[in-house]
Structure 1
Amino acid sequence: MDALTRIGLVELAFGAVLGWAVAATMITPKLVERAGVRKPRRILQAHLDYVIMGIILIAVGLAVPGLPTWLAVAIVIGTWVNPTLFLPLAFSPRAATRPWFQVLSIVSFTLTSGGLVGAAVVGLLR
């Protein structure tokens, strides 16, 4: 099994497990609030995005096995960082205004979109 597919399975599983945190935001909102979560909806967004990004990694790994390492690394970093960016927003909605967050977002989106375009090109040229 291709490394991209394996990493995608791990991300998919992580997203599934994060579903428990989503359930906690609905079942025990006071406990979640005491843990410092100010925007529980961001936990749901992260959960869904981890699942989606995991499926994307699995699909790319199966559709374009043996992708050049540099391209696979770009896609993996982007597809893990993108959903992770929702987590600081759950605790501090103002995180989105911070330069570190903005730079990380741009880098992550660039790695994801550029990497996926690159994977499409590699797949079409094979």
Structure 2
Amino acid sequence: MIDLVRVGLIELAAGTLLGWAVAADHAMPALVARCGIKSPRRILQAHLDYIIMGIILIAVGLAVPGLPQWARIVLIIGTVVNPALFFPLAFRESAAMSMPYRLISVASFAAMTIGVLAAAITY
């Protein structure tokens, strides 16, 4: 069985580590620009979103230990992909206009919605 709390803690750790990239942008913006990041604010958004998504998984994992496996998988997909969608935008804002980006965004938000609704119903 997939442990939502464990995955949530991994996402929380990833979000925390991204905080270093945010700090680097404040301390050494030229270095961040040399890495090809054109919109550092998107890294900040990913940092915050991974922390939020990690907390959501931890909360759901503790509150609804009987959540069906399919709902756990769908919820994890949503919480991993949603914050990851900020990375392409950090390098190229126009990525948001591409059809693959839009389709992945819709699928990811649908996964979050279905997963959270399943948790609410199961609880």
User: Alignment RMSD, CA only?
Assistant: 0.8
Helix, strand or coil at the partner of 1:67:
coil
Matched, 1:20 2:29: no
User: SS of the residue aligned with 1:19?
Assistant: helix
**Match of residue 109 from structure 2:** 109
Q: Distance in 1 between matches of 2:16 and 2:66?
A: 27
Distance in 2 between residues matched to 1:100 and 1:25, nearest whole Å: 29
* 2:60 equivalent in structure 1: 60
2:88 corresponding residue in structure 1 = 88
SS in 2 for 1:6: helix
Partner Cα distance (1:110, 1:13) in 2? 24
Could you tell me which runs of 5 or more consecutive residues in structure 2 were left unpaired when the two chains were aligned.
none
Task: Letter of the 2:107 partner, please give it.
Answer: V
**Identity of aligned pairs, percent?**
57
Residue 47 (str. 1) matches residue 47 (str. 2): yes
1:67 offset after TM fit, Å?
A: 1.1
TM-score (normalizing by structure 2) = 0.97
- Give me the whole-angstrom Cα distance separating, in 2, the residues matched to 1:18 and 1:66: 31
Q: Distance in 2 between matches of 1:81 and 1:66?
A: 23
Residue 5 of structure 2: aligned partner: 5
* TM-score, normalised with respect to structure 1: 0.95
Q: Is the Cα–Cα contact under 8 Å of residues 66 and 122 in structure 2 kept in the other structure?
A: no
Taking the aligned partners of 2:58 and 2:47, their CA distance within structure 1 comes to: 17
Q: Is the 8 A contact 2:19 2:47 kept in 1?
A: yes
Q: Which runs of 4+ in 1 moved over 4 A?
A: none
**What is the match of residue 122 of structure 1?**
122
SS in 1 for 2:108: helix
- Give, in whole Å, the separation in 2 of the partners of 1:115 and 1:67: 9
User: What is the one-letter code of the residue matched to 1:74?
Assistant: V
* Matched residue SS, 1:101: helix
- Work out the CA distance in 2 between the residues paired with 1:16 and 1:111: 24
Report the residue type matching 2:100 in the other structure: W
TM-fit CA distance, 1:114 = 1.4
- Measured against aligned partners, the alpha-carbon deviations of 1:39-68 in whole angstroms (never above 9, x if no partner) come to 000000000000000000000000000311
